[in-house]
């Protein structure tokens, strides 16, 4: 019998989450039934959406159940299979959760996806060639719909999603401007990811200051905006949006702990005839094959760059997740499990 370490969600956070909301347990893996696959996870993905799942309030998805393994994307290797489609040694992506192993019903549609690690590192399938990358691809191409010569702005620009948005915008002939926290992240966004400019929001403590900085960085205004944060950053961008601008609303991390997110100038949506569309990438599975093909090709050829923050061991997941919510990660936050 193999021991499996798991992280459970055991309580709902009141405001900011803490490590007390989680518990580490050990269980014994059961023998496989027909149609099941045993996967040993190599990496666990930590993502901002998980904070919303910890709440019991109504959302686009069901809340994370208490006393169950915390939800999370995983990539790993098939150890044992009783399903004809999978064999030991296959590298697979799934939603295995915060645990070292998962017993997966492989007959369930979309439960596992086999990936090729010949030219793409296995961890990238949780980042640039995974859900974050597809999120960036969909929001940019289907909602922002940039044209060559236009200006695209993205908040949380050094993160797993934002970094891909800017690089895709540049590949389409756009001016890409990022917003990130701290000089190191801004330097990375410009010098390594190839953005035209990046604003450090920590240097701009009010709306006027940030809006002025955006005016300097976007002399022709803003045509497309990819939103991950909300609050003052959203207000500042809206003041600089061109008429008929498009805004892809991916996340509002500034309000994930229950704080209100006021919008100071909603009239700008009307005055500038803006399109503001929220989206959840899991509702657009028809777009995933084309997105993954493009993203995988770009990573394999070195045209799409990314950075990873790695925590080690399943025990480190809660602290790493809390750090992610505070912006302590640099790039994609992963937990290495082997």
Instruction: Give CA–CA dist 68/73, Å, rounded.
Output: 15
Which residues have a Cβ under 8 Å from the Cβ of 58 and sit 6 or more positions away? none
The domain that holds 100 is classified in CATH as: 3.90.180.10
Determine the pLDDT at residue 60. Answer: 75
3 state DSSP class of 32: coil
48 domain residue, yes or no: yes
Same domain, 69 and 95: yes
The CA distance from 156 to 38, in Å, is 36
Residue 302, in any domain of the structure: no
120 and 152 belong to one structural domain: no
CA distances from 210 to 123, 144, 218 (A): 35, 22, 12
Q: Is residue 293 included in any domain, yes or no?
A: no
The answer to whether residue 301 sits within a structural domain is no
Query: Cα–chain-centroid distance for residue 107?
Result: 27
pTM of the model: 0.93
- The verdict on residue 296 lying in a domain is no
* Mean pLDDT by groups of 10 residues along the chain of 338 residues: 94 94 97 97 96 86 93 97 97 98 95 96 98 98 98 96 98 98 97 98 95 98 96 96 98 82 94 97 95 98 97 98 93 96
Q: Check if the beta carbon of residue 21 is closer than 8 Å to that of residue 315.
A: no
**The domain containing residue 165 runs over which residues?**
131-282
Contacts of 289 (CB under 8 A, 6+ apart): none
Query: Do 26 and 10 fall within a single domain?
Result: yes
148 plus 275 within the same structural domain: yes
Domain count, the chain: 2
Task: Report residue 289 as tokens.
Answer: 């094959």
Same domain, 65 and 161: no
Task: Report which DSSP code applies to 188.
Answer: H
**pLDDT at position 1:** 67
Q: Are residues 121 and 135 both part of a single domain?
A: no
What one-character DSSP code corresponds to residue 315? G
Q: Map tokens 């290797």 to a residue.
A: 77
Q: Is residue 102 part of a domain?
A: yes
Decide if 194 is inside a domain: yes
Same domain, 136 and 82: no
Q: Are residues 253 and 192 in the same domain?
A: yes
Same domain, residue pair 115 and 135: no
Considering the domain architecture, whether residues 188 and 322 belong to the same structural domain is answered as: no
**E strand spans, 95-193:** 101-105, 112-114, 151-155, 175-180
Final residue before a domain boundary, out of 282, 297, 315? 282
Q: Is residue 297 part of a domain?
A: no
Same domain flag for 251 and 268: yes
Identify the DSSP state of 101.
Answer: E
Question: Do residues 105 and 184 both lie within one domain?
Answer: no
CATH of the domain at 223: 3.40.50.720
Give the contacts of 48 (CB within 8 A, at least 6 positions apart). Answer: 228, 251, 253, 256, 324, 325
91 class by beta-carbon count within 10 Å (0-12 exposed, 13-18 middle, 19+ buried): middle
In angstroms, rounded to a whole number, what is the distance separating the alpha carbons of residues 154 and 175? 11
């Amino acid at each position: 019998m193999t021991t499996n370490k798991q992280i459970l969600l055991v309580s709902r956070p009141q405001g900011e989450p803490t490590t007390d909301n989680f518990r580490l347990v050990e269980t014994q893996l059961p023998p496989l039934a027909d149609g099941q696959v045993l996967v040993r996870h190599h990496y666990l993905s930590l993502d901002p959406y998980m904070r919303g799942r910890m709440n019991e309030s109504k959302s686009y998805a069901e809340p994370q159940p208490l006393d169950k393994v915390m939800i999370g994307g995983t990539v790993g290797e098939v150890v044992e299979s009783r399903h004809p489609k999978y064999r030991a040694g296959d590298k697979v992506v799934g939603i295995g959760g915060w645990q070292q192993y998962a017993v997966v019903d492989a007959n369930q549609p979309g439960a596992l996806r086999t990936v090729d690690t010949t030219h793409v590192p296995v961890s990238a399938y949780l980042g640039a060639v995974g859900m974050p990358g597809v999120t960036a691809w969909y929001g940019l191409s289907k909602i922002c719909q940039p044209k060559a010569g236009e200006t695209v702005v993205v908040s949380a620009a050094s993160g797993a999603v934002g970094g891909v948005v800017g690089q895709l915008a540049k590949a389409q002939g756009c001016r890409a401007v990022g917003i990130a926290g701290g000089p190191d992240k801004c330097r990375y966004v410009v010098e390594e990811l190839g953005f035209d400019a990046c604003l450090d929001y920590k240097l701009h403590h009010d709306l006027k200051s940030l809006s002025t900085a955006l005016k300097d960085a976007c002399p022709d205004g803003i045509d497309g905006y990819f939103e991950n944060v909300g609050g003052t950053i959203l207000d500042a961008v809206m003041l600089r949006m061109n008429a008929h601008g498009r805004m892809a609303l991916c996340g509002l991390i500034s309000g994930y702990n229950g704080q209100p997110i006021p919008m100071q100038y909603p009239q700008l949506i009307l005055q500038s005839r803006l399109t503001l569309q929220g989206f959840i990438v899991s509702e657009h599975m028809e777009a995933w094959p084309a997105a993954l093909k493009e993203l995988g090709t770009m990573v394999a050829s070195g045209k799409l760059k990314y950075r990873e923050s790695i925590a080690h061991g399943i025990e480190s997941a809660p602290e790493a997740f809390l750090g992610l919510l505070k912006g302590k990660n640099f790039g994609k936050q992963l937990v290495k499990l082997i």
